[in-house]
Amino acid sequence: MRIAVVHTVGSPCGCADALTTGLHALGHEVFVADSEEIALTAGEISKTCDLVIDHTDTLRGSGFLRPHVRMLLESCGARIVGSDARACFRADDKIAAKALLSHAGIPVPPGVAVTSKRQSLPSWLKAPVILKPAFEHMSRGVMRAETEDEIQAGIAELIDRFRQPILMETFIPGREFAVSILDEGNGPRVLPPLEWRVHPGESSVLTEAFKQSDISGERQDALRAELPPDLADELENLSCSAFCTLGLRDYARFDVRLSSRGTFYFLEANTTPSMEPLEAMALSAGWAGMSYPALVEKILSAALRRYGQPPRHEEKKACIALSTGPVDLFIPEGVHLPPASTLELANLLDVRQGERVLDLGCGAGLLSIAAARLGAGCVVATDIDPRALDATMKNAQANGVTEKIIVRGGSWYEALEDYSISDKGRFDVIIATPPQTPGLYPFGPRYGGADGTKHLSIILQGAPAFLNPDRGRLWLMAISLANPSELLHQVRQYFHDVSIVHETERPFTGNEYESLHKGLMDHLLKLRSSGHSDFKDVSEGTYAFRNLFICAGRARVH
């Protein structure tokens, strides 16, 4: 697999090197990306990487913006390892997370949110207290205040520095733990907790300087926590409950304090715990019998259970036999393979030597190539989808007709807004096979409006202005699902000569259309009963509509 590791370049809590080493050890290809460039790279990362591990610490220098990295990636379709953007916003907001945990019966230190230097503080909150910015990580800005003056000065300093709410909460003396969690498919699993031993006594706080310190060799300040069975079970149950309450996925870590009287207080959640080999997650995994690569594999497996195996984004290839010879087509993801009806239309076209042709909605370019092969002097191929435009250019080159095909982007005739429509510049042939499946609501690229004639009508209305008035022809491939009587009425409104050159049957099932949109088959049946759609019953649950190959000439002047 190709896996992206997104991180804040230069951050002291970065773990890109460790993750890259672990992923390479598992045989994966790794792409490392800078969070600061995510607005530029999210699309490419999402398209080219099977999974994305986001370990952003800050964005634009702020922890508050960190979840936006994941949100951008998700909006581009990235398959995220770990919690989604919504859960990250929830967990990163210490004030909101604290309220959710408390509501779920998970003990948190009593505290309040402070949003103003002049805010009056509750009488029940006595010094010493802990002050911390609501959205920062790595203990940035965390301080302990012993007196009323220190509290006021600390609040003023943090608001000025971080420009975000400050969480002020009761200081809990006691032992501090890092509780790492993996989701192994049947629910969260708590790894052996780590206990921090920073300074002797009960007043220690894990500071920003401590978390940024370089560690080498064996750690002396972290050890496997020893707890009696009843407390170990309670910590495990509370941690699993906290993981689920915040809607976390795959892996996470909680900072927890055990008071001298035996109460576990959850201080905060970390959706991107450090993956350095000597940090809590990796140490706890080691105590559980996991090597570093095995830990990484467990995290990836959790994401793959949710998403399934990565899709193969391979370009399809097809060789299509036409009357003018074989056509080699490259079909990228998102561009449909031309159906049998398009092949039939390609073999019916009456393009003459030197004629100008307009292919509306060119897709992979088969009809444009067919027209060029028939002798067209120039083919203008339009489509609204950049993938289709790129495919048509590539396929024109592969089939030796690049010099005849001009590709333009836009919806139908809008792609020709700067195109001359003088008699000399008009087209001799317009070809169109627009989306025309009826539906109450847009459901995908095959949607053609309530009765299927939405795009067909646009093409008909615009055709006379772009066709040569004497010899111009419009070729349409229409389906009888799309109100054929109304369609033929419209064609005759705009053209003197109208002929259904050919018809074929296209079998389909109700399930085929229900898979496009729930209730779609019922909508088709209602259209048929009202005379706005035409298809026949073949057997139980199986039907057939007609493909109508229409040629219209001698456009009427409106």
Instruction: Say what the pLDDT of residue 13 is.
Output: 55
Looking at the fold, whether 222 and 327 belong to one and the same domain comes out as no
Q: State which of 248, 281, 307 marks the end of a domain.
A: 307
Looking at the fold, whether 402 and 440 belong to one and the same domain comes out as yes
User: Sign of the C-alpha dihedral, residues 279, 285, 287, 293?
Assistant: negative
User: Considering the domain boundaries, does residue 152 fall inside one?
Assistant: no
pLDDT per residue of the chain (558 residues) written in tens, 0 to 9? 999 999 988 765 556 889 999 999 999 999 999 999 999 999 999 999 999 999 999 999 899 999 999 999 999 999 999 999 999 999 999 999 999 999 999 999 999 999 999 888 899 998 999 999 999 988 889 999 999 999 999 999 999 999 999 999 999 999 999 999 999 888 899 999 999 986 544 446 776 666 556 666 778 889 999 999 999 999 999 999 999 999 999 999 999 999 999 999 999 999 999 999 999 999 999 999 999 999 999 999 999 999 988 776 667 899 999 999 999 999 988 898 999 999 999 999 999 999 999 999 999 999 999 999 999 999 999 999 999 999 999 999 999 999 999 999 999 999 998 766 555 569 999 999 999 999 999 999 999 999 999 999 999 999 999 999 999 999 999 999 999 999 999 999 999 999 999 999 999 999 999 999 999 999 999 999 999 999 999 999 899 999 999 999 999 986
Looking at the fold, whether 405 and 452 belong to one and the same domain comes out as yes
Pick the closest to residue 352 from 283, 458, 428 (CA basis): 428
Q: State which of 273, 288, 307 marks the end of a domain.
A: 307
Instruction: Say what the pLDDT of residue 197 is.
Output: 85
Task: Write out the E strands in 260-372.
Answer: 264-270, 316-322, 325-331, 356-360
Q: How many domains does the chain have?
A: 3
Q: State which of 307, 339, 365 marks the end of a domain.
A: 307
CA distance 512 to 521: 9
Q: How far is CA 533 from CA 259, 522, 524, 552, in A?
A: 73, 12, 7, 21
CATH code of the domain in which 42 resides: 3.40.50.2300
CA distance 260 to 155: 28
User: Considering the domain boundaries, does residue 439 fall inside one?
Assistant: yes
Looking at the fold, whether 363 and 491 belong to one and the same domain comes out as yes
Which residues, 6 or more positions from 420, have their beta carbon under 8 angstroms from its beta carbon? none
Looking at the fold, whether 369 and 414 belong to one and the same domain comes out as yes
Looking at the fold, whether 17 and 94 belong to one and the same domain comes out as no
376 and 357 Cβ atoms separated by less than 8 Å: yes
Instruction: Say what the pLDDT of residue 214 is.
Output: 63
- Determine if the peptide bond prior to 128 is cis (ω within 30°): yes
Looking at the fold, whether 367 and 479 belong to one and the same domain comes out as yes
User: Sign of the C-alpha dihedral, residues 271, 276, 278, 284?
Assistant: positive
Looking at the fold, whether 281 and 373 belong to one and the same domain comes out as no
Looking at the fold, whether 265 and 284 belong to one and the same domain comes out as yes
User: Considering the domain boundaries, does residue 115 fall inside one?
Assistant: no
User: Considering the domain boundaries, does residue 133 fall inside one?
Assistant: no
CA distance 253 to 271: 7
Helix%, strand%, coil% for the chain, nearest 5: 35, 25, 40
User: Sign of the C-alpha dihedral, residues 7, 12, 13, 14?
Assistant: positive
Q: Residue 543: what residue type?
A: Y
193 and 279 Cβ atoms separated by less than 8 Å: no
For helices 386-398 and 366-373, give the axis angle rounded to 10 degrees: 30
Containing domain of residue 411, as a range?
A: 316-555
Instruction: Say what the pLDDT of residue 120 is.
Output: 87
User: Considering the domain boundaries, does residue 178 fall inside one?
Assistant: yes
Looking at the fold, whether 258 and 333 belong to one and the same domain comes out as no
Count the neighbouring beta carbons within 10 Å of the beta carbon of residue 540: 7
35 and 98 Cβ atoms separated by less than 8 Å: no
Q: Which residue has the tokens 């509501």?
A: 103
Pick the closest to residue 420 from 389, 460, 380, 385 (CA basis): 380
User: Considering the domain boundaries, does residue 137 fall inside one?
Assistant: no
Q: Are strands 542-555 and 473-479 parallel, antiparallel or unpaired?
A: antiparallel
Looking at the fold, whether 235 and 340 belong to one and the same domain comes out as no
Looking at the fold, whether 295 and 361 belong to one and the same domain comes out as no
Instruction: Say what the pLDDT of residue 417 is.
Output: 81
Q: How far is CA 221 from CA 217, 232, 295, 424, in A?
A: 12, 21, 22, 84
CATH code of the domain in which 184 resides: 3.30.470.20
What's the pTM? 0.75
- Strand order of the β-sheet with 166-170 is 111-114, 166-170, 129-133, 143-145
CATH code of the domain in which 413 resides: 3.40.50.150
Q: At 216, list the tokens.
A: 């080498």
CA distance 210 to 181: 23
User: Considering the domain boundaries, does residue 126 fall inside one?
Assistant: no
User: Considering the domain boundaries, does residue 438 fall inside one?
Assistant: yes
CA distance 213 to 196: 14
Instruction: Say what the pLDDT of residue 208 is.
Output: 62
Instruction: Say what the pLDDT of residue 200 is.
Output: 47
Q: How far apart are the first and last CA of the chain?
A: 59
Which residues, 6 or more positions from 411, have their beta carbon under 8 angstroms from its beta carbon? 384
